[in-house]
Structure 1
Amino acid sequence: MARHAGLLPRPAVPGQRPTLVAELRPGMTPAKPTNGLGTGSSNLLSCPRPGRCIQQDRVTSSKDPVSVRPLVRFSIRDRILYESLVFGLAHSVDKEIFPSVYSYRWNRLSFSFRDPIKMWLRMQKAASRHLVKNPTHYAAKTDVTSFYESIHLETLTEDLEAATGQVEWVNKLRIYLDSFQSFHSAWGIPQGSDASGILANLYLLPVDELLRRRGVRSLRARNTILLRCPGRA
């Protein structure tokens, strides 16, 4: 059973399944990445069985003065494959996400993300309006440390199956993510891809639900949460 209360399987959205995932099969054997034109892409010729290899470079970027954030640079083919797997589930996932979440929101009509800048500005305006109307309230910001690399695939798989009802499709994505972890000796899901943001939204849904049940008004962008609460008199 999934850990989300009230989540029901939903039918697949007709016409929204890309065909590229037909290349993905159980027993994928990751290929060792090679440098490609200085862009971090991998040499597709290094994979003896096209469509069955994960080709990515793992890099780090500065998060703050003392820590770094692990990122993944996909080859073009593997980026298309990963995004096809996730985007095929995006519409069903997004219907479960609360309006208080402003990052990685899916537009089913254009089959793409809503404008991230506009969504960020909407979040800022919503926070400002609340504080103007409630001058005695405080706003506190928090986030989840090492969030993407802490995502548990078994739990994520259960959540996706409950939210979408597309068990076979979710299993294809699970095969890909298992290979990603095995190849990089990593945990969680790839960081640096917008497709991962869709999965992250669903994974944090229990947090959004808990805050709502406790009567805490909140706004969220990625793994950063803005809490709004009354101050002391």
Structure 2
Amino acid sequence: MYDEKISKKATRGIDRIGIKKFNEIEKDQLNIIFNKCNAGTYKFSPYVEKLQSKGRSKNPRLISVSTIRDRIVLYMLKEILHEIFPECVYRKLPNNYIKEIKEFYKISAHKHICYFKTDIKSFYDNIDHDILIGIIKTRVKSKKLINLIKYSLKTPTVPINYKKKDIKEYKRTYGVPQGLAISNILANIYLKEVDVKLEGIGIRYIRYVDDILIFIEEGDSSDIQGKVETVLSDYNLSLNVSKTECQLSDFEFEYLGYLLSKTRTSIKEANIERFITSVAGKFSSYLHNSEERIKKYPWLNQDIQQTVFVEDLNEKITGSLNEKRRYGWLFYFLEITDISLLHKLDGIISNFFTRLSDFGGVPPANLKKLAKAYYKAKYTPRGGYIHNYDNYETISEKMKYLGDRGYINPDKHYKKEDIDIIFNRVKRKRLSDLELDIGITS
């Protein structure tokens, strides 16, 4: 489990121990985990806070980063909870919910239907520990396991430079820390009874994390908000009034970054703009930083920089594959029917090349297209058109990838282990950046 799930994630916790160092002490650390968990004495180190951008004019999301040792325990806890609460393990991606909405529209095309859309206000921060533990206790009888879950909830999230004497300032009595292996399953366990109750008040109920969508008969729309508020209040939760709306389903509305109506499925304007801005940023970086890169990394000549620029731009356009997962803007929005939008965006990207004299002001022949990538992603994602990190199998392939981007010096000698660590770190950062392009926040 450690090699498969943990060792590839090199984020450091409060102890600042990275993967390379942990590998040297792995056996001792696993013994500590086993002995302390068995004795019921395992305690988590404070989580380190990491701020994750939610886009312009929004407060960042606070992510909690655990130590590698704690990460192993949290992963085991997650697996145990998955077995005990299998109905709370949601593996569907957001676009699967959009597909459900499209199918619902087909079967209710001639009915007078309203949609009610809202989200739960500061959901993770307002989860009541006592209520959550009470729900878990209905199936978990082990006191050691219950206490371990309690410790994971109450462990504070602190700045990296905090002083131990100030630890009380960061103690938590409410909320589930975000970013941990158990965060999602605990949140879904907390809402499992809420889901049952809300499913009973409409024709179709959909929830993705804290984003709620309910379809109802037109005559039932007047008191739907009150019913939802009553259900949530039983769990010390409230809906976000500023994000609550109820309209006839003939109207276009936004959900999970999509723009939906009975006649078309497109993308919310803010998410289109975010993607264009991200692409434009790559052009600006190339335009203004090429000479500086050559000074800093002498082996990065103009030909290499041009090749890498197009490769990385293509990755942003098509998204990427890694193991069994798909990443990127296009993969997220695969349920759109507004294909003309993709052609429009392809035109915008091509037009950006007029700023680059290195390319003669025209897009290169190997520039990939969103419209083509859309069909490839839908029907043959592993056919070769979409960038795939699984194709970097040998050390020489990984070294070329890293060297061409300035992460290593190709003239220096590196251990295989070091190349793997650097490659996985770079890959993880690039996949994370692809997800940021999506810009979906609750």
What TM-score do the two structures reach when normalised by structure 1? Answer: 0.64
Equivalent of residue 119 in structure 2, options 115, 120, 143: 143
Seen in structure 2, the aligned counterparts of structure 1 residues 166 and 60 have a Cα distance that, compared at 3 Å, is same
Q: Distance in 2 between matches of 1:217 and 1:164?
A: 31
TM superposition shift of 1:230? 2.4
Query: Which residue does the alignment assign to 2:45?
Result: 54
TM superposition shift of 1:75? 1.7
Equivalent of residue 81 in structure 2, options 62, 75, 89: 89
Query: Which residue does the alignment assign to 2:105?
Result: 131
Equivalent of residue 74 in structure 1, options 54, 61, 66: 66
Instruction: Give the match's secondary structure for 1:170.
Output: helix
What TM-score do the two structures reach when normalised by structure 2? Answer: 0.36
Correspondence 1:163 to 2:139: yes
What letter matches 2:136 in structure 1? L
- Cα pair 1:149 1:188 within 8 Å, conserved: yes
Aligned-CA RMSD value: 3.0
Query: Which residue does the alignment assign to 2:179?
Result: 192
Cα distance per residue 1:191-218 (max 9 Å; x no partner): 0234211010111123212213334520
Cα distance per residue 1:1-56 (max 9 Å; x no partner): xxxxxxxxxxxxxxxxx9xxxxxxxxxxxxxxxxxxx94433268xxx97544142
Larger Rg belongs to = 2
- Cα pair 1:93 1:164 within 8 Å, conserved: no
What letter matches 1:132 in structure 2? K
Query: Which residue does the alignment assign to 2:195?
Result: 208
Seen in structure 2, the aligned counterparts of structure 1 residues 188 and 201 have a Cα distance that, compared at 3 Å, is same
- Cα pair 1:177 1:189 within 8 Å, conserved: yes
Q: Distance in 1 between matches of 2:187 and 2:62?
A: 16
Q: Distance in 2 between matches of 1:208 and 1:53?
A: 31
Q: Distance in 2 between matches of 1:216 and 1:143?
A: 18
What are the equivalent positions in structure 2 for 1:34-45 lying under 5 Å apart? Answer: 39-43=11-15
Structure showing greater relative contact order (alpha-carbon pairs closer than 8 Å, 6 or more residues apart): 1
Equivalent of residue 180 in structure 1, options 156, 166, 187: 156
TM superposition shift of 1:189? 1.4
Instruction: Give the match's secondary structure for 2:85.
Output: helix
Instruction: Give the match's secondary structure for 1:204.
Output: helix
Residues paired across the two proteins, number: 176
| Greater shift in the superposed pair: 179-188 or 222-231 | 179-188
Seen in structure 2, the aligned counterparts of structure 1 residues 152 and 58 have a Cα distance that, compared at 3 Å, is same
Instruction: Give the match's secondary structure for 1:63.
Output: coil
In the alignment, structure 2 segments of 5+ residues that lack a partner are: 2-9, 18-28, 33-41, 158-166, 220-247, 249-442
**1 or 2, which has the higher strand percentage?**
1
Q: Distance in 2 between matches of 1:128 and 1:216?
A: 15
Seen in structure 2, the aligned counterparts of structure 1 residues 44 and 81 have a Cα distance that, compared at 3 Å, is farther
**1 or 2, which has the higher helix percentage?**
2
Q: Distance in 2 between matches of 1:216 and 1:180?
A: 41
What are the equivalent positions in structure 2 for 1:96-111 lying under 5 Å apart? Answer: 97=88, 104-105=89-90
TM superposition shift of 1:121? 3.1
What letter matches 1:74 in structure 2? S
